[in-house]
Amino acid sequence: MLAIIAPGQGAQTPGFLASWIEDKGAHELLGTWSDEIGLDLVRLGTLSDADEIRETSHAQPLLVAAGLISFMHTFDQQEIAINYFAGHSVGEITAASLAGVLDASLAMKLVNVRARAMSSAAANSHTGMSAVLGGERDVVIASLSALGLTAANENGAGQIVAAGDLAALEKLAENPPQGSRVRPLAVSGAFHTSVMAPAVSALQGAIEAEKISDARIPVLSNKDGAIVRSGSDLIARIVGQVAGPVRWDLCMKTLADSGVTGVIEVAPGGTLVGLLKRAEPSIQTFAIKSADDIDGARAFAKEHGGK
């Protein structure tokens, strides 16, 4: 059985769209999306430095665009049976589009609204995020709660991302939970917490009048790892997820429990399959990092698809 997964913010690197725009059709499609959302995806994805693409309003549209383009060019006109889609945080918009819930243009519109609204909500909030690496889950969660912090991302494989007030994050770093270490993340605010409530409202307003379809292939929800087929349910979960925790650990558990044998991470792949290798080592993985990986991804998909 085969699942396709899409990475979230932080997976971007300078020039990560360069290999894809060598194809004329991909270049033109990125140009069309750029015009539709008022953001030069081609320049940002090929010429910009790490600081420019780290900005939330740039990173999120770039990641969804890369996921869509890499999937289209790898699997269009290929007879591959895919069993599930999933995406981490903003990658869930990519997954929803690949599953047929949103068309690509609407997915780009929504991620642009999401990114700008989250960036705005984070501005002057005096909040941030830190990765807690190692330690027992219950001990880590208790430590965060005692400091008024939120477990914004539970990524499995001994990684929980804490979010909240910067002063509280400093205290966490000074006194890490037993058996763990704390690494501050270069983000502008406490994503996936109540700080993002204004972004939830903005995203809800942007999707209300749009056409939503049920998923052709089920999508695993970041909220709780549930297998979701209803388009309206999935979109409600995606909207609420902006201010709610990401339970990627539960998504990985669902993949394993559902009998998935192979997982392909669309571009810019690598982060999520790394987590999966540690959390569910029985599942084989393949990361699409550039257009050079197309043939390898197709062969992997044929090996695992539809079993």
Please provide residue 88's backbone torsions phi and psi, each rounded to the nearest 5 degrees.
Answer: -90, 120
CA distances from 118 to 40, 128, 250 (A): 19, 13, 24
Quick one: how far is CA 249 from the chain centroid?
Answer: 13
Show the DSSP H helices in the chain as ranges. 24-37, 41-46, 50-54, 56-75, 91-98, 104-122, 137-146, 166-174, 197-207, 231-241, 248-257, 271-279, 294-304
The one catalytic residue among 19, 89, 130, 143? 89
Is there a catalytic annotation at residue 89? yes
The one catalytic residue among 58, 73, 88, 192? 192
Please provide residue 165's backbone torsions phi and psi, each rounded to the nearest 5 degrees.
Answer: -60, 135
Strands 227-228 and 219-220: antiparallel
Q: Do residues 85 and 99 make contact, with C-beta atoms less than 8 angstroms apart?
A: yes
- 285 has which bridge partners? 263
Q: What angle do CA 263, 193, 65 make, to 5 degrees?
A: 45
- 172 has which bridge partners? none
Sheet containing 84-87: which strands, arranged edge to edge?
Answer: 227-228, 219-220, 84-87, 2-6, 262-265, 284-287
- 87 has which bridge partners? 6
Q: Do residues 44 and 98 make contact, with C-beta atoms less than 8 angstroms apart?
A: no
Catalytic positions, please? 89, 192
